[in-house]
């Protein structure tokens, strides 16, 4: 009941935006014919070897970091008490999904362009950022669930917050996914879906803010402040994604594209890897305060 009450304003606002959106669409001048529908900005340009290599290398950095961090999360599992261990296991899951996605994306970048007359030009394949959004469908709910677990909520509250996060998070990602298909061919739809996605993003942030503000006071004093700061950390690092979403529309050049892919990679590393490491640290501190360290030490001596 509580959950349904909380979702009502969200559904209301979305309906209003959807109705407004149908009006916007009615006035849209389609550019169809000039570019194929669904194409991303990346495909409109030719790149010099420097620009091309930076994108390829930055994507490679992304999946290499994911592979390294996977080992870290699995190797440090033992230091965390069973109650919080799922935090690290989920980070490991996020690493596998990020690795596969970025590996595929880097391959896609190389498949899409051919080198002729000193420049990389679009060949017979196209590059798509859509892979990223499908990856977020897995990672966004998991990243938010990790927070619920590390905060050690009672079952009822955990289910309530987890549902709000999963529903809000998935709607945010999937509406943004719709929007990115129109970044070249239909700016009205691009902005419209971007705005709908932003409503869900704000919803997730509000729920998250409230959750941490309410529960951080019960945490051991040495990690209380850290937990409060995580709200800002999430706000800043997650907001890199909508910035990357709009960037090429405002800056439609090769440099705009290279910068977008760099921003995406910085966001991937900060929201998945560094965030995972921070939560692992908090889980370890909680385990220690709850005497898991001592239990381990005794077990070692025997």
Q: Which residues bind ligand RET (CB under 6 A)?
A: 136, 139-140, 143, 172-173, 176, 179, 194, 197-198, 201, 238, 241-242, 245, 271-272
Closest residue to ligand RET, judged by C-beta, is: 176
Q: Which residue has the tokens 């990679």?
A: 265
Across 4-37, b (16+ Cβ under 10 Å) vs e yields eebeeebeeebeebeeebeeeeeeeeeeeeeeee
* Nearer to ligand RET among residue 272 and residue 284 (C-beta): 272
| Minimum CB–partner distance for residue 293 and ligand RET (Å) | 31
> Smaller CB distance to ligand RET: residue 176 or 285?
176
Q: Tell me the closest approach of the beta carbon of residue 302 to ligand RET, in angstroms.
A: 41
Tell me if 140 sits within 8 A of 170, measured CB to CB.
yes
Closest approach of Cβ 70 to ligand RET, in Å?
A: 14
The rounded distance, in Å, linking the Cα atoms of 177 and 235 is: 20
C-beta contacts of 64-67 below 8 A and 24+ residues apart: 65/269, 65/273, 66/95, 66/96, 66/98, 66/99, 66/102, 66/268, 66/272, 66/273, 67/95, 67/99
CB closer to ligand RET out of 47 and 174: 174
Q: Do residues 138 and 272 touch, judged by C-beta distance below 8 A? A: no
User: Which of 39, 276 has the CB closer to ligand RET?
Assistant: 276
Distance between CA atoms of residues 176 and 274, nearest Å: 24
- Judged by beta carbon, residue 143 or residue 258, the one nearer ligand RET is 143
- State which residue, 88 or 287, has the beta carbon closest to ligand RET: 88
Helix orientation angle between 187-215 and 240-250, rounded to the nearest 10 degrees: 160
Locate tokens 């990243």: which residue?
A: 143
- In this structure, what are the phi and psi dihedrals at residue 228, rounded to the nearest 5 degrees? -60, -40
**Distance in Å, CB of 140 to ligand RET, minimum:** 5
**What's the min distance (Å) between Cβ of 241 and ligand RET?**
4
C-beta of 89: minimal distance to ligand RET in Å?
A: 16
Q: How far is the C-alpha of 300 from the C-alpha of 283, rounded, in Å? A: 21
């Amino acid at each position: 009941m509580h959950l349904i009450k909380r979702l009502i304003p969200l559904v209301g606002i979305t309906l209003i935006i959807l109705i407004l959106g149908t009006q916007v669409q009615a006035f849209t001048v389609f550019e169809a014919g000039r570019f194929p529908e669904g194409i991303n900005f990346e495909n409109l340009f030719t790149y010099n070897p420097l620009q091309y290599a930076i994108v390829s290398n930055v994507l490679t950095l992304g999946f290499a970091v994911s592979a390294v961090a996977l080992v870290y999360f699995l190797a440090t599992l033992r230091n965390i008490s069973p109650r919080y261990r799922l935090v690290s296991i989920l980070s490991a899951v996020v690493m596998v999904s990020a690795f596969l996605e970025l590996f595929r994306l880097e391959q896609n970048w190389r498949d899409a362009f051919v080198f002729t007359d000193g420049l990389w030009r679009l060949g017979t394949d196209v590059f798509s950022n859509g892979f990223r959004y499908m990856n977020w469908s897995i990672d966004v709910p998991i990243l938010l669930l990790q927070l619920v677990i590390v905060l050690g909520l009672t079952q009822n509250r955990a289910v309530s917050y987890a549902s709000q996060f999963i529903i809000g998070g998935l709607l945010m990602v999937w509406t943004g996914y719709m929007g990115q298909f129109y970044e070249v061919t239909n700016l009205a739809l691009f902005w419209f879906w971007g705005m709908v996605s932003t409503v869900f993003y704000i919803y997730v942030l509000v729920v998250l803010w409230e959750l941490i503000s309410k529960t951080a006071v019960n945490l051991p004093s040495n990690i209380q402040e850290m937990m409060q700061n995580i709200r800002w950390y999430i706000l800043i690092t997650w907001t890199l994604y909508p910035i990357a979403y709009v960037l090429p529309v405002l800056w439609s050049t090769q440099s705009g594209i290279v910068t977008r892919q760099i921003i995406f990679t910085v966001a991937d590393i900060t929201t998945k890897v560094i965030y995972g490491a921070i939560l692992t640290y908090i889980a370890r501190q909680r385990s220690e305060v709850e005497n898991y360290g001592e239990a381990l030490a005794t077990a070692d001596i025997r």
